[in-house]
Amino acid sequence: MVHRSGPASAYAPGSRPIRTCVGCRGRAEAGELLRVVLVDGDLTLDPRRRAAGRGAWLHPEPTCLDKAERRRAFARALRVPGPLDTGSLRSDLEQLAYRDTGPGSSRAGMDQRKQVDPS
């Protein structure tokens, strides 16, 4: 019988899931990107990464959202016809950035890495 020390993980050490940002096309670990899903015709952030259906991945930066809008990448990644409105997604992204770096934030001025929800 083999006994392992330390916490059990679904991934081997050093082999985290890699995703591609639909904006800049850069590859990164899934924990560094935000998952975006289509809910009732609106693009919405999926912070727990549990929503049903296809998802698109995006760096939490306005420049990547701008690039994704120009390239019409969300419609292609989510496999839906026509352009999608990114207004609500942009406001969600701005609120997220403000919450993480705004006045009174415990993360103000700190490294901008996102922490993954373990649940």
Q: Which pLDDT value is given to residue 77?
A: 97
Q: Which pLDDT value is given to residue 105?
A: 54
Q: Which pLDDT value is given to residue 110?
A: 45
Q: How far is CA 94 from the centre of its chain?
A: 13
pTM of the model: 0.73
Q: How far is CA 5 from the centre of its chain?
A: 31
DSSP state, 21?
B
User: Which residues, including other chains, have CB under 8 Å from residue 94's CB and lie 6 or more apart?
Assistant: 62
User: Which residues, including other chains, have CB under 8 Å from residue 73's CB and lie 6 or more apart?
Assistant: 22, 23, 56, 67
CATH superfamily of 18-101: YlxR-like (3.30.1230.10)
Residue-by-residue DSSP string for 80-93 = -SS----HHHHHHH
- In whole angstroms, what is the distance from residue 13 CA to residue 16 CA? 8
Q: Which pLDDT value is given to residue 96?
A: 87
Structure tokens at 90: 């942009």
Ordered per-residue pLDDT tens for the chain, 119 residues: 555 555 566 667 678 899 999 999 999 999 999 999 999 999 999 999 999 999 999 999 999 999 999 999 999 999 999 889 999 999 999 998 878 776 665 544 445 556 677 76
